[in-house]
Copies of this chain bind each other. A is one copy, B any other.
Amino acid sequence: MSATIKDVANECGLSVATVSRVLNNSANVSEDSARRVNEAIEKLGYSPNFLGRNLRKRETNVILVIMPTSEHSFYMKIVAGIQAYAQPRGYDIICASSNSTSEIEVRQMNMLFNRTVDGVILLGTSYDAETLNRLSKTYDIALCCEGVDGAELLTVVVDDEQAAYDAVRELIRLGHRRIGFLGANDRAVSSNFRRKGYIRALKESGIEVRNDLIYKGNFEYEHGALGFDKLMSAAEPPTAIFCVSDLLAIAAIHRAVDRGLRVGDDISIMGFDNITMCEMMLPTVSTVEQPCSKLGEMVVRKLMSNIGLPAASKDNGFYTVPHRVIIRESVKPYKNRT
């Protein structure tokens, strides 16, 4: 087995207390002792066991990020943002994917319950509001990217309703009036908000909201083609489509091309998230940018300052970060063709 603090103490002829002091750079240890301790550590290749330390200190300085799926590069960008903030400030970030399965999610949440980590950031969850409210009394939990209706715990998201509104307004400004919506089903809070924003933008411009131009599936690639076909089968098919994820938009673009349409010219397609792939695609994909590093930074910053606080004084606020509509090749002004 590897060396313990006791071994180090024996090696340098000092007590474990002194070794511990050196380990934690605490004051009141002579230069000479420090040197002897460090030599012994070096000699034995000693590395402190954090299970012992954390058990004693009742903290681990580790935060777990649980994401619904590891397939979305979007989530990993958030994690990168979280890490960039937390790492230099003494917290390690680890992440796990629940595959959108509540069973796996619960299992991973166990790391929080059993004190393997100090806090958890959920980028989407299958917990309901009631459970989250209860858990967040005892544990440090935050939501990011995807809120939960009625949940009163730290949440950091973009203003989905406004973001969708802004995106659809842009399509309208470009002359489109038959605009389709490719979204997720009603359980997805963010998709619902985006649908509301879509509807608000239409109404505000005096455009009729038509049910055959609204598709509800989920955020995944597969639904892009399904939704596209459904929308295009409408009596008066859309000239532009707003999708609640870039993956949906990319799939829709693919499907449009397969059907012989020129994306941009014949049909405009807009996504949401601004994943890296948007700029890699041909055509490049218009989208609503979610500021991943900002989202990550804010949520972990607030979570970190919650850790250790009594339940009553924890920040369980709802925060939004600014979004940005980005027009690329997949969206062009509407031209009335003969």
Contacts and interface: CB of A to CB of B under 8 A. Distances in A.
A93 B51 CA distance: 18
Interface string A83-107: 1000100001111110100001001
B116 A62 contact: yes
B64 A94 contact: yes
A116 B50 contact: yes
A47 interface: yes
Contacts of A309: none
A111 B92 contact: yes
A280 to B, nearest CB: 5
A261 interface: no
A257 B329 CA distance: 14
A211 B260 CA distance: 41
A250 interface: yes
Nearest to A139: B2
B93 A48 contact: no
Given A50-B115, A87-B104, A71 B73 contact: yes
A162 interface: no
A51 B114 CA distance: 8
Contacts of A53: 114
Contacts of A62: 116
Given A80-B70, A94-B94, A108-B92, A280 B251 contact: yes
A114 B49 contact: yes
B114 A97 contact: no
Interface residues of A, number: 53
A276 interface: yes
Given A49-B55, A280-B251, A83 B97 contact: yes
A108 B115 CA distance: 19
A80 B97 contact: yes
Candidate in A53, A64, A76 with the most chain B CB atoms within 10 angstroms = A76
Contacts of A104: 87
Contacts of A52: 55
A281 interface: yes
Contacts of A221: 276, 280
Interface of A: 1-2, 45, 47-55, 58, 60, 62, 64, 70-71, 73, 76-77, 79-80, 83, 87, 92-97, 99, 104, 107-108, 110-111, 113-116, 138, 221, 250-251, 253-254, 257, 276-277, 280-282
27 contacts: A1-B58, A45-B138, A48-B114, A50-B115, A50-B116, A51-B54, A51-B60, A51-B114, A51-B116, A55-B55, A70-B77, A70-B79, A70-B80, A71-B76, A71-B77, A76-B76, A76-B97, A80-B99, A87-B104, A92-B96, A92-B108, A94-B94, A95-B95, A250-B280, A254-B282, A257-B282, A280-B281
